[in-house]
Amino acid sequence: MSRDTISQSISIVHPISLSHGKNAEVWDTSGKRYIDFVGGIGVLNLGHCHPGVVEAIRDQATQLTHYAFNAAPHAPYIELMDRLTAFMPVDYPVSGMLTNSGAEAAENALKIVRGATGRTAVIAFDGAFHGRTLATLNLNGKVAPYKQKVGVLPGPVYHLPYSSADNGVTCAEALKAMDRLFSVEIDVNDVACFIIEPVQGEGGFLALDIEFAQALRRFCDENNILLIVDEIQSGFGRTGERFAFSRLGIEPDLILLGKSIAGGVPLGAVVGRKALMDNLPKGGLGGTYSGNPIACAAALATLDAMTDEHLKTWGLQQEEAIVSRYQTWCAQGLTPYLGRLTGVGAMRGIELANADGTPASKQLTQLLGLARDAGLLLMPSGKSRHIIRLLAPLTIEPAVLEEGLDILEACLKQLD
């Protein structure tokens, strides 16, 4: 099968061609089976072809495959927004809109905060990833490959260090950098919002420091700045809770959603304080495919499965398995390249590092190939592409999870 018709600017992590999948397993076109620790890059928290999601898609496809909501509303959109806003763990009245993706949710959030504040400047964080569209590129805290060769990006956008025990940046250091930013670079009164991930995804599964998160919330309140939390990858149970910001003891003003919102069907959303979401003129928000009926039906089935009891059980099982295995590897001295375990809950990364602490990027590339040959798909992350992000479905069978960790262990031993 030729790939000549596909842009060579698309980077492929695993040069295989998949044909089908079930829960945490996928098969390529040659019939080879793989355990999937990628999950469509965090999209498949409920696994491949979850029965409830598949049934909902089939049922909806016999009734209404599409209608643009801003032309004529349809029931799946309305029902989903009622359910979704009730699912958000915040105490204020919530409204929102559906989008086609997480990046589109971020773009719309920027419009919303500009309309609400009359300001344009945005503060993002080192290591951040918020999308590949032109505006979200500038939010990303990494140049290569996202910002290369695309010229001047929409702004103004400024970046601060991301405070996390996983990267060694303390709350005090991040706050000092913030103080410098507003002393040297920009007037605080020109800032519309901060945008931050409670656990960085592309950045290497770095968990945001709780003290810094609360200080940031206070700073925003004191200066009439809005706080956007990007839960596109960390949301919908990835950490073992509905959303990762709950562990921080804060409430965002706007929340970005995507990835696992609809069990693999393209969908995103921006939700938040109703007064913010309603501030733009009629027609200021919308989109032809945003909130497609089939995607809405899949999202409703996803919410049915994501009870708090399920999320807690799934999250604990996966966290305990990963942490236990990692601790055993450390005790055994499995490989000299085994670095830190990053993240929280079931959202975990394993760093590969050299003896001097520098990123072992070469070894991670080697690991990707070794694991793939052995039947395990892994996904890299981190500034230097040196952290494995573990994104197995939350619904993975315990035996399959252990089998995948066995393969990972065997491959780590082979690194040179």
Q: What is the pLDDT of residues 178-211, one digit of tens each?
A: 999 999 999 999 999 999 999 999 999 999 999 9
Q: Which CATH number fits domain 308-413: 3.40.50.300, 3.60.20.40, 3.40.605.10, 3.90.1150.10?
A: 3.90.1150.10
| CA distances from residue 354 to 143, 148, 335, 373 in whole angstroms, order as listed | 24, 28, 10, 24
pLDDT digit string, tens, across residues 57-94: 999 999 999 999 999 999 999 999 999 999 999 999 99
Give the Cα separation of 217 and 175 in Å (integer).
12
For 401-412, what is the mean pLDDT?
98
| CA distances from residue 296 to 43, 49, 93, 133, 202 in whole angstroms, order as listed | 15, 16, 21, 23, 27
Does CATH place domain 53-305 in 3.40.640.10? Answer: yes
First to last CA, the chain: 34
Phi, psi of 338 (to 5 degrees): -75, 115
pLDDT for residue 149: 61
Residue 261: is its pLDDT beyond 80?
yes
pLDDT for residue 114: 94
- Among the residue ranges 125-129, 152-156, 318-322, the one predicted with the least confidence is 152-156
Which pair of tokens denotes residue 62? 């016999």
Q: Are 174 and 212 in contact (CB under 8 A)?
A: yes
Q: List, in order, residues 6 or more apart from 179 with CB less than 8 Å away.
A: none
Percent of the chain with pLDDT over 90: 91
pTM here is 0.94
pLDDT for residue 152: 53
Residue 279: is its pLDDT beyond 60?
yes
Identify any residues that bridge with 124 across adjacent strands, giving them in sequence order. 159
Phi, psi of 382 (to 5 degrees): 95, 155
Q: List, in order, residues 6 or more apart from 53 with CB less than 8 Å away.
A: 46, 262, 263, 264, 265, 298, 301, 302, 305
Residue 150: is its pLDDT beyond 60?
no
Taking every pair of Cα atoms in the chain, the longest distance, rounded to a whole number of angstroms, is 62
pLDDT for residue 415: 97
Q: Helix 75-87 vs helix 293-305: angle between axes, to the nearest 10 degrees?
A: 30
pLDDT for residue 183: 97
Q: What is the mean pLDDT of the chain?
A: 95
| CA distances from residue 70 to 66, 74, 83, 292 in whole angstroms, order as listed | 12, 10, 20, 11
Number of Cβ within 10 Å of residue 310's Cβ equals: 14
Where are the domains positioned within the chain?
53-305, 308-413
Residue 141: is its pLDDT beyond 90?
no
Where would I find the H helices in 223-261? none
pLDDT digit string, tens, across residues 36-54: 999 999 999 999 999 999 9
Q: Which has the higher per-residue pLDDT, 294 or 11?
A: 294
Give DSSP secondary structure letters for 142-195.
--TTTTTTS-S-SS-EEEEPPPBTTTTB-HHHHHHHHHHIIIII--GGGEEEEE
Give the Cα separation of 403 and 391 in Å (integer).
15
**33-36 sheet: strands from edge to edge:** 18-22, 25-28, 33-36, 376-377
pLDDT for residue 178: 98
For 209-231, what is the mean pLDDT?
98
pLDDT for residue 11: 87
Residue 146: is its pLDDT beyond 70?
no
pLDDT for residue 2: 62
Number of Cβ within 10 Å of residue 284's Cβ equals: 11
pLDDT for residue 3: 78
pLDDT for residue 172: 98
pLDDT for residue 138: 75
Task: Provide the residue type at 315 as one letter.
Answer: G
Q: Are 387 and 351 in contact (CB under 8 A)?
A: yes
| CA distances from residue 93 to 89, 161, 348, 410 in whole angstroms, order as listed | 11, 32, 32, 50
Residue 155: is its pLDDT beyond 80?
no
Residue 1: is its pLDDT beyond 80?
no
Percent of the chain with pLDDT over 70: 97
